[in-house]
Chains A and B, each alone.
Chain A
């Protein structure tokens, strides 16, 4: 305290101005204005005829006081359904793979390793095609299950690495203490290791979930009418290319930001005192 008050008079005036919170606000506004100017200039130079007023009807309409879903809304629902199911499956696959890699069984380890390397080192697009066109007829999978399977397998591989990193980051002493109490390996994972690991890996796991939502756009390639596919269809009829793509990007943004916020709340709830 005394040190600060003593130092106060010696601080030059320009430094006080630069360190004030108003300076931060000013800088932030300046950056935003720059970005806005850049876009305004870019779009006016394009000579594009912007028709934003056309867009809302493709999301939804209210007819006689009744909600009527537009194609983009329908697409969003498909995207949400595919992403939601894939998210759960990817987590389950990731967990099993991570545990297999950490197990003492050579077979489990090498199977997990093979799956991981195969999936992580090939493009998702090709995996979707492979599952839909090659495995689909064999296993009797229609479009939607194929898409969900491809996405789950793809993101599950990444999730498994995150989970494994989280599990091995827990100190050996925790295992030893739990073993010395006579707990079984299953109990130790459930009660001691996973609750701590999950807290640590929530941020990277969230990034992976967000990737999954965005990667789900690729299912449009096997003609699933998700958000992206619906947008393509509307654009081919209306030529509202930029308006619709920006709108679709905004809709993905709303989904992913909501996801982040939910996880943030979870993170705060799970925070341990001390």
Chain B
């Protein structure tokens, strides 16, 4: 807090390294800063460490060295800090990971009641507002198994938003969806970006990147290869590896 300007940088990752068991190095001296309200898109070939970076930010993976500070809270071995950071950081997964034994609205209620200690009524009101926002209020009493992939992912976004996070992490949120459902999820994500939510998205949707992102990071082998605006990546990427990768996904 003393030497940084927390009002500007909500996430400060400094030279983080992560090696999985078996010796695969997922992140290597990875440093970046995310400003409040910034929308960052991370691209890169599979195994380049994109997802690992997101998962380190909320402590789902432990870093081996380096430091991560989220909204002024250092992510260290303290359990309290970890819970505190998870409250502020929402995450949306590739495979939705909704709780299948709870209805849609119960999925959205749960963390509000358990973590934010809201009453059932308070939580329900907020949940219904959020479901309205992601356009799925009519399915509030359905079970996740009765919804399409796109609908499930929108519920998952509402569930994460219910904690009123300061940052949202999207880990390949549209990769498991049928093509006709990608649009509805991207729309919700774009709305969020326009409202000023700080977002870090691992995605290959370059259209999304072009439309709403402030910055695109291209990663390979656990390192940042190139950073710039989406426009920069489309028109004039510097690195050969970036060009090669873009030619493969576009």
A and B assemble together: yes
Q: Which A residues have a C-beta under 8 Å from some C-beta of B?
A: 171, 173-174, 176-184, 187, 191-192, 195-196, 199, 272-274
Residues of chain A with a CB closer than 8 A to B145's CB:
272-274
Q: Are A180 and B146 in contact (CB under 8 A)?
A: no
CB distance from A244 to the nearest CB of B (A): 47
A269 to B115, CA, bound (A): 29
Q: Are B101 and A274 in contact (CB under 8 A)?
A: no
Known: A196-B100, A272-B143. A179 touches B60 (CB 8 A): yes
Q: Are B101 and A272 in contact (CB under 8 A)?
A: yes
Q: Which of B59, B100, B111, B146 sits near A181, CB closer than 8 Å?
A: B111
Select from chain B the residue with minimum beta-carbon distance to A180: B91
Q: Which of A174, A191, A199 sits near B97, CB closer than 8 Å?
A: A174
Which residues, 76 to 93 on B, are CB-close (under 8 Å) to A? 83, 86-87, 89-91, 93
Give 17 CB contacts A-B under 8 Å.
A174-B97, A176-B91, A177-B156, A179-B60, A180-B90, A181-B111, A181-B159, A181-B163, A182-B86, A182-B87, A183-B110, A184-B114, A187-B115, A196-B100, A196-B101, A272-B145, A273-B142
Residues of chain B with a CB closer than 8 A to A181's CB:
86, 90, 110-111, 115, 159-160, 163
Select from chain A the residue with minimum beta-carbon distance to B95: A173
Q: Are B101 and A183 in contact (CB under 8 A)?
A: no
Q: Which of A184, A191, A199 sits near B110, CB closer than 8 Å?
A: A191
Q: Are B99 and A176 in contact (CB under 8 A)?
A: no
* A-B CB pair tally, cutoff 8 Å: 76
Q: Are B97 and A182 in contact (CB under 8 A)?
A: no
CB distance from B21 to the nearest CB of A (A): 15
A184 to B98, CA, bound (A): 17
Select from chain B the residue with minimum beta-carbon distance to A171: B97
Instruction: Apart from A174-B99, A177-B97, A187-B114, list 14 A-B contacts with CB within 8 A.
Output: A171-B97, A173-B97, A179-B59, A179-B86, A180-B86, A182-B83, A182-B86, A183-B110, A183-B111, A183-B114, A184-B83, A196-B99, A196-B100, A272-B100
